[in-house]
């Protein structure tokens, strides 16, 4: 087992990474101070992993909330089911919420914990690659709104994160690849050595070799933790974690939440960001091709859906990075070197939207 500490002063917390950690509940139970525990999960994950988590809590009052599986349920309405259960069970503000699942469950669990009685303790047990490499670090929580992704939320840190790499064996290929989109992102924005490693090891990684997985998760968390430590509430460099995300969020919102997995939409968005960086003369042909090739090699979609350019632009105008009506994007100066948010001229952006990935 590796233990990786996210350094945030008084709110620092450990991430435990390894295979089979779900059978070591003492790792997370040592952080729990009260006897009331609510486990939030979804139907898919519940069938696989709810029982071992719940049965580890002898002597506790344990409530469970099982949501349907999918990004389309990441709403205020479904969040309210968590509050209903917490209040029906009369859980107090020392109660601990455990989010057991992927990115959707982690985001909703963290936000429910942030809001219930203005904040209760919270533990993450991410069971997807995406959640292990992305949601484990950074404290971003929230839900979607019909008009924009992740528009309602809070910054809220967990007590600890337990990343059991064995849970990745039950992921379908689509879910697994979706996680790789965020892994590749860390290489692209700040870690060229990791990017090259991924180019050389993608085949073995797709076979889910446990050693390689633990390495990839730790290196991703390390990259993210360094960025977040410099900028916890995203006033500067943290925005680079959004490479491909403004395009991606537009795809997710425009096609309806749940049509694309988040990582899939980010993969397409990353290709579009690479294309735009190339049009601006920042990436050369070879660099652009390497970006797209590695995403394709990870079995991710690289072609945008049919979405009219005007609609795409309108969706991109609702983004947390935007200021004063300007669309601001994270692009690439090179592989391993992201820009800060840059104001983008609409005519160049249109070129990418109208030409990239079109037959």
Catalytic status, residue 242: yes
Nearer to a second copy, 154 or 202 (CB): 154
Q: Which of 330, 325, 321, 332 is nearest to 346 (CA)?
A: 325
Catalytic status, residue 118: yes
> Please, which residues have CB within 8 angstroms of residue 209's CB and are 6 or more apart in sequence?
none
Catalytic status, residue 140: yes
| From 214-222, 296-304, 316-324, 343-351, span contacting a second copy (CB under 8 A) | 316-324
Q: Which residue among the candidates 149, 185, 249, 288 is catalytic per the annotation?
A: 249
Q: Is residue 154 within the footprint of a second copy (CB under 8 A)? A: yes
Q: Which of 187, 169, 192, 223 is nearest to 295 (CA)?
A: 187
Q: Is residue 255 within the footprint of a second copy (CB under 8 A)? A: no
Q: Which of 184, 75, 165 is nearest to 125 (CA)?
A: 165
Min dist CB 270 to a second copy, Å, is: 22
Q: Is residue 324 within the footprint of a second copy (CB under 8 A)? A: yes
Distances (CA, A) of 356 to 100, 256, 296, 313, 318: 38, 22, 15, 15, 22
13-18: strand order across its sheet: 2-6, 13-18, 160-164, 122-126, 96-101, 36-42, 61-67
| From 23-31, 110-118, 168-176, 284-292, span contacting a second copy (CB under 8 A) | 110-118
Q: Is residue 237 within the footprint of a second copy (CB under 8 A)? A: no
Min dist CB 318 to a second copy, Å, is: 5
Collapsed DSSP state (helix, strand, coil) of residue 340: coil
Distances (CA, A) of 202 to 178, 196, 205: 14, 10, 5
Q: Is residue 215 within the footprint of a second copy (CB under 8 A)? A: no
Q: Which of 3, 23, 55, 92 binds a second copy (CB under 8 A)?
A: 92
Q: Is residue 311 within the footprint of a second copy (CB under 8 A)? A: no
Q: Which of 13, 63, 135, 140 binds a second copy (CB under 8 A)?
A: 140
Min dist CB 313 to a second copy, Å, is: 12
Catalytic status, residue 182: yes
Nearer to a second copy, 64 or 322 (CB): 322
Min dist CB 217 to a second copy, Å, is: 25
d(Cα 130, Cα 270) in Å, to the nearest integer?
A: 16
Give the distance, in angstroms, between the CA of residue 168 and the centroid of all CA atoms in the same chain: 15
Are residues 78 and 136 in contact, defined by beta-carbon separation less than 8 angstroms? no
Q: Which of 155, 208, 210, 342 binds a second copy (CB under 8 A)?
A: 155
| From 50-58, 80-88, 178-186, 215-223, span contacting a second copy (CB under 8 A) | 80-88
What are residue 96's DSSP bridge partners? 37
d(Cα 295, Cα 268) in Å, to the nearest integer?
A: 9
Q: Which residue among the candidates 74, 190, 219, 238 is catalytic per the annotation?
A: 238
Q: Which of 78, 83, 197, 215 binds a second copy (CB under 8 A)?
A: 83
Nearer to a second copy, 174 or 321 (CB): 321
Please provide the DSSP assignment of 176-205 as one string. HHHHHHHHHHHHHHH-HHHHHHHHHHHHHH
Q: Which of 5, 12, 94, 348 binds a second copy (CB under 8 A)?
A: 94
> Please, which residues have CB within 8 angstroms of residue 343's CB and are 6 or more apart in sequence?
326, 327, 328
Q: Which of 145, 174, 299, 350 binds a second copy (CB under 8 A)?
A: 145
Q: Which residues are catalytic?
A: 118, 140, 182, 224, 234, 238, 242, 245, 249, 262
Q: Which residues bind a second copy (CB under 8 A)?
A: 34-35, 76, 80, 83-84, 87-88, 90, 92-94, 114-119, 140, 142, 145, 147-148, 151-155, 233, 317-318, 320, 322-325
């Amino acid at each position: 087992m590796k233990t990786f500490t996210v350094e945030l002063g008084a709110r620092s917390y450990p991430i435990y990474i390894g295979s089979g950690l779900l059978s070591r509940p003492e790792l997370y139970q040592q952080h729990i101070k009260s006897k009331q525990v609510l486990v939030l999960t979804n139907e898919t994950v519940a069938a696989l992993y709810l029982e071992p988590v719940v049965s580890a809590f002898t002597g506790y009052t344990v409530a469970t909330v099982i949501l349907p599986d999918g990004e389309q349920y990441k709403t205020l309405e479904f969040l309210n089911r968590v509050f209903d259960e917490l209040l029906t069970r009369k859980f107090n503000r020392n109660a601990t919420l455990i989010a057991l699942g992927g990115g959707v469950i982690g985001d909703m669990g963290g936000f429910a914990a942030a809001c219930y009685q203005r904040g209760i303790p919270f533990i993450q047990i991410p069971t997807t690659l995406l959640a292990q490499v992305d949601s484990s670090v950074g404290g971003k929580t929230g839900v979607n709104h019909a008009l924009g992704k992740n528009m309602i939320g809070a910054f809220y840190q967990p007590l600890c994160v337990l990343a059991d790499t064995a849970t990745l064996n039950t992921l379908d290929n689509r879910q697994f690849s979706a996680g790789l989109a965020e892994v590749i992102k860390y290489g692209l924005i700040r870690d060229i050595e990791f990017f090259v490693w991924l180019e050389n090891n993608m085949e073995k990684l797709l076979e889910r070799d446990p050693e390689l997985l633990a390495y990839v998760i730790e290196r991703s968390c390390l990259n993210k933790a360094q960025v977040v430590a410099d900028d916890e509430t995203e006033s500067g460099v943290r925005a680079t974690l959004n490479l491909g995300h403004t395009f991606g969020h537009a795809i997710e919102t425009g096609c309806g939440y749940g049509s694309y997995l988040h990582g899939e939409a980010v993969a397409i968005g990353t290709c579009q960001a690479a294309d735009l960086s190339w049009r601006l003369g920042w990436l050369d042909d070879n660099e652009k091709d390497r970006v797209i090739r590695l995403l394709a090699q990870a079995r991710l979609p690289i072609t945008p859906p049919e979405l009219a350019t005007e609609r795409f632009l309108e969706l991109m105008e609702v983004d947390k990075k935007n200021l004063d009506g300007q669309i601001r994007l994270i692009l690439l100066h090179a592989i391993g070197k992201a820009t800060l948010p840059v104001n983008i001229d609409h005519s160049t952006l249109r070129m990418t939207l109208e030409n990239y990935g079109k037959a």
